[in-house]
Amino acid sequence: MSTIDLSHARWFKSSRSANNGSCVEATVLAEHVAVRDSKDVGGPVLVFGAGDWGAFLAGAKGGRLRG
- The pLDDT of residue 32 is 93
- Does position 67 have pLDDT exceeding 70, yes or no? no
Bridge partner residues of 24 (DSSP): 37
Beta strands in 14-62 (DSSP E): 24-28, 32-37, 45-49
To the nearest whole percent, how much of the chain has pLDDT over 70? 94
pLDDT one-digit tens code per residue, 10-34: 999 877 777 776 788 999 998 999 9
Confidence of residue 1 (pLDDT cuts 50, 70, 90): low
Q: Which residue has the higher pLDDT, 33 or 63?
A: 33
Q: Taking residues 37-46, report their average pLDDT.
A: 91
**Which amino acid does the sequence have at 19?**
N
CA distance 27 to 39: 16
